Amino acid sequence: MAYRLDRTRRRPITVLSIAASDSGGGAGIQADLLTLAAHGVYGATAITAVTAQNTRGVFAAEPVRPELLLRQLETIFEDLSPAAVKIGALGSAANVRTVAGALGRWKARHVVLDPVLGASTGEPLLWRGLAVLRRELLPRCELVTPNVPEAEALSGVRIRGEADRRLAAGIIADRGAQNVLIKGGHARGGVVSDLLFDGRGFREFRHPRIVTRATHGTGCTLSSAIAANLALGYELQEAVGRAIRYIEKALRRGVFPGRGRGVPGHF
In this structure, the number of other CB atoms found within 10 A of the CB of residue 206 comes to: 11
Is 218 an annotated catalytic residue? Answer: yes
In this structure, the number of other CB atoms found within 10 A of the CB of residue 22 comes to: 27
Range list of H helices, the chain: 28-38, 66-80, 93-105, 130-132, 148-155, 162-174, 218-231, 236-252
**Active-site choice (48, 145, 183, 254):** 183
Farthest CA pair distance, the chain: 49
What is the enclosing helix (H) or strand (E) of 9?
none
Would you call 107 exposed, middle or buried from its count of C-beta atoms within 10 A (0-12, 13-18, 19+)?
exposed
Is 217 an annotated catalytic residue? Answer: yes
**Active-site choice (219, 241, 254, 262):** 219
**Active-site choice (48, 98, 145, 215):** 215
CA 25 to chain CA centroid, Å, is 16
> Could you tell me the sign of the dihedral formed by the alpha carbons of 112, 64, 43, 35, in that order?
negative
**Active-site choice (35, 218, 221, 262):** 218
**Active-site choice (25, 88, 141, 220):** 220
Is 220 an annotated catalytic residue? Answer: yes
Yes or no: say if 22 and 51 are a contact pair by the CB < 8 Å rule.
Answer: yes
DSSP one-letter code for 136: I
Angle, CA of 29, 181 and 16, to the nearest 5°: 30
What is the enclosing helix (H) or strand (E) of 119?
none
* 3-class SS of residue 138: helix
Residues serving a catalytic function are 183, 215, 217-220
